[in-house]
Amino acid sequence: MQNFNSNDPASFREMGQKLSGFLNAEGRELSEEEEKEVSPILHSLDEMRYHFTGEEFLGEGGEKILSKAYDTQSDRNVVIARPRRRDTNMEKEEFLREARLTCKLQHPNILPIHEIGIDNDDVPYFIMRLFEGEELGSIARKRFESDSGYSGRYPLEEMLEIFLKICDTVIYAHSRNVLHLDIKPANIMVGRYGQTMLYDWGMAAVISDDSRKDVTETFDADILNTLLHAGTLKGTPGYMAPEQIAEEGVESYATDIYALGAVLYHILTGTIPVRGSHAQEVMLNTRDGKVVRPRLRRPQLSIPGSLGAITIKALQREPENRYRTVQELHDEVTRYLRGFAPKAERANPVKRLQLLMRRHSKVATVIFLSVLVLMVVTGFFYSREKMQGRRLEAARAEAVLNLNHFQEQQAVSEKLYHDLREFTAETGNLGTLRTYRLLDKILEQELNKDDLDREYLKKLVRMKVMQELAQQNFNAVKTLVEDYPHWWQWLELYDQIATRFIEIKPDDTAQLSDADFALFLDHPFARQRYKELKSLAFDLHMVNTEPADPESYLKVAIAMLNVINDTREWGGHVKLEPRKSGYHLDLSGAPYRIYVFSHMLPWCYDGVLGKLDLVSLDLSHSVVNNIWEFQRLEKLETLIFLDIKMVGGDVNFFTMLKALPTKRVVLREGAHQQRFIDELRAKGTEVILVAPDEMYP
């Protein structure tokens, strides 16, 4: 014991281990006086009535078991902490050491201890305030998930403000000569309104500082420094400083500074500063100082170089190369937030000038605009002076130029018409209701001309055949095929279609019924040009036929949705269910993402579903892409979205929902953020939440 140093926590742990081993070796139990000497906090607690009921298990953290309970004396919910190891008084004393130390740390970001005691089973406990929040590690991880919404809720600036609060907490603890020694994202909790708590002081140590006699008297190192578990791992791999791993290492303020650097690294990258597939490899890389720069660890992220420099300085292997105090680290991050270059970055003059202009952007903008205006005014007067000398010469040549210009424009106009005609045939685009009649006239004129180029004539014939098919003129298609027998190879498909449907509709002046037109749409030719053919045929059918009853039209609607979405033969089982004022359509599980063809304009008509007289629509178990397409369904009262996949997330989905005239929306409980649901209800829409594994009637 001659090398024992009361000011060294490591020496104290060694002394406690040797003392406990010596006493246990004698084969006798400790006397009451010896027990009091070994566990002074435990024996200093007076027995008191246990006044907590309704305990609910919350979880395990470090060496503690946490439960939620009701305090009958103070009429509030609290958290009760009990030791995981409690077989001996030494283990109970280790648990109470954390409680006593935390009691002495009075700071807004340190969870207060309300009470320390021993329950009826002789198990020590301490009572903490019940604080609801989310771990910083969870927030940092979700920020990198594009569809979580956390990147907007917690921008980088907000995360840095949280980090500064933790720095303030550690600055206070260091001012009391207390080291935390286990700072990590899992021990940092963030409340709904930005409140921040630094948890778990179970590994904290009190160090002596001869320059602060008042502090060491308040924090008794003899009592508050740990005596148990000597030689065990003290910290979390990835956040432990090299000196916590090395046998000869000495823990100091710099140890906590390293951990804070690791927390900042996690905020920027979502991971720890060193690589490693297991804890042993992580610790070895930490001991050897193999820290990976943030930009190299996550090159796909736009990590500011200033913050990267701050992080690397805090994570230096040697303690003397890190920031001297947590206050210096705090000031560096504050400088970045205020638009200055941190000292660790060693910014060049260009970078400092950029930051200066960013801090004074309004002044810089005014200067830039002033210079720009000066250059424009100078250039204007210079150009006007030059132009005055040229005006006389320009006037003499004006008449000749005008004549030449007229002749050139006439030639350009003729060429433009020719090129436009060629382009129409090249693209093979049948157009829409607004253009097909004009295209039909052009085709008639061009086909009546003699000596047409063979390839050009072939394109014109193909377009004419497709137009006749779209108009259900099947006899006209047969005539065109017969007029050009030498092109039978590529006209054969059209001839087969015409032959089939002439049997159904021999008269070109008549129209196919809804059921027969659905067969036409279901015909297996699905290239892009044929999709356009079917789309134009659908438009013409809707214009040229009397409004059908919804149940008859359903086959046409399903067939057209299969055309739009390239999903053949789906929906044969779908039926309309009559409702009091319309119909209900169940499209749950449908493979559809699009309900309007690209050229269908919502302000022109109601798309594919418009004539179904829908008051209720079920899109459960499907992918929801663009529900703007249902805006014109004015009778639609109920939309059902159970277990859907949303393209664009909650923000896009609820933005579209709020714009619809729908009175009622059915959603899966827990599948969407509550604030969006509240906004939808505030608009006046009834929102029905269906519990998991239940169906909506």
Q: What is the mean pLDDT of residues 511-518?
A: 89
Asked if 479 contacts 444 with a C-beta cutoff of 8 angstroms, the reply is: no
pLDDT at residue 426 in the model = 47
Give the residue with greater pLDDT, 650 vs 599.
650
Tallying the residues shown for the chain, one arrives at: 697
Q: How far is the C-alpha of 390 from the C-alpha of 13, rounded, in Å?
A: 97
Which tokens is 489 given? 């190879």
Give the residue with greater pLDDT, 351 vs 381.
381
Whether residue 4 is predicted with pLDDT greater than 60 in this model: the reply is no
DSSP 450: S
What Å distances lie between residue 534 and 135, 156, 380, 467, 565, CA to CA? 55, 51, 58, 10, 13
pLDDT at residue 392 in the model = 67
| Residue written as token pair 């699905």 | 526
**Structural domains for the chain:** 39-129 (3.30.200.20), 134-347 (1.10.510.10), 364-418 (no CATH), 428-546 (no CATH), 573-697 (no CATH)
pLDDT at residue 197 in the model = 94
Whose CA is closest to 564, among 612, 526, 602?
526
pLDDT classification of 428: cutoffs 50, 70, 90: very low
pLDDT classification of 611: cutoffs 50, 70, 90: confident
pLDDT in tens, 227-275: 434 345 578 899 999 999 887 778 899 999 999 999 999 999 999 999 9
Mean per-residue pLDDT over the chain, rounded: 80
Asked if 640 contacts 619 with a C-beta cutoff of 8 angstroms, the reply is: yes
pLDDT at residue 225 in the model = 56
pLDDT at residue 28 in the model = 61
Which tokens is 308 given? 């990267």
Q: Give percent above pLDDT 70 in the chain.
A: 77
DSSP 485: G
Q: How far is the C-alpha of 110 from the C-alpha of 126, rounded, in Å?
A: 15
End-to-end CA distance of the chain: 79
Q: What is the mean pLDDT of residues 648-670?
A: 88
Q: How far is the C-alpha of 658 from the C-alpha of 683, rounded, in Å?
A: 7
**H or E segment and range at residue 618:** strand 614-618
Which tokens is 449 given? 């001309």
Q: How far is the C-alpha of 564 from the C-alpha of 432, rounded, in Å?
A: 15
pLDDT in tens, 274-283: 999 899 999 9
pLDDT at residue 240 in the model = 93
pTM equals 0.47
Q: Residues 192-209, buried b or exposed e (16+ Cβ, 10 A)?
A: eeeebbbbbbbbbbbbbe
Whether residue 190 is predicted with pLDDT greater than 90 in this model: the reply is yes
Which tokens is 124 given? 């020590």
Asked if 611 contacts 550 with a C-beta cutoff of 8 angstroms, the reply is: yes
Give the residue with greater pLDDT, 229 vs 61.
61
Q: How far is the C-alpha of 292 from the C-alpha of 312, rounded, in Å?
A: 9
Give the residue with greater pLDDT, 542 vs 597.
542
Q: How far is the C-alpha of 164 from the C-alpha of 686, rounded, in Å?
A: 43
Residues 6+ apart with CB under 8 A from 249: 241, 242, 243
Q: How far is the C-alpha of 239 from the C-alpha of 673, rounded, in Å?
A: 33
pLDDT classification of 430: cutoffs 50, 70, 90: low
Asked if 586 contacts 607 with a C-beta cutoff of 8 angstroms, the reply is: no
Give the residue with greater pLDDT, 292 vs 89.
292
Q: What is the mean pLDDT of residues 595-616?
A: 69
